[in-house]
Amino acid sequence: MNRKEIFIKEEDHSYSLGFSVRDYECDIQGVVNNANYQHYLEHARHEYLISRAISFSRLHEEGIDLIVTRVEIEYKFPLRSGDRFNVCVSVEREGNARLVFKQDIFRVPDGRHIINARVTGVATRNGRPVSPGILIEQLGLE
């Protein structure tokens, strides 16, 4: 393999949220359907922001909406019904308007790396990108 392997651990992230796979999230092969991973990632991002006192409804009332503009997922190993897992989240700035959420899923209790994801978003006002302003401060990214 020519590509350099990067080893990621749960400890590399600033937030983690636990889940369990439900039967209806699995496809005919008995593994989690790939679309469900985006639901896990989104729920963990929302809970992370709430843990940092960032409210989507308050932002919307102030005219700011957070929009996902890009999702990249590398599937490494499947989850199956009943598996427990953690979705880990960290965030960094990219330029003046973008926030990049780096997310990983690890199976519990063995720590198997399930997916690696990079989710890019922007803050918008009236459909136009704006500086995330207060979010930068609340996320400790200044």
Residue 83 falls in the annotated catalytic set: no
* 114 three-class SS: strand
Question: What distance in Å separates the CA atoms of residue 67 and residue 71, rounded to the nearest whole number?
Answer: 11
Of 12, 23, 27, 110, catalytic: 27
Question: What distance in Å separates the CA atoms of residue 43 and residue 53, rounded to the nearest whole number?
Answer: 15
Give the closest residue to 119 by CA, choosing from 16, 43, 59: 43
Count of C-beta atoms within a 10 Å radius of residue 45: 23
Active site residues: 27
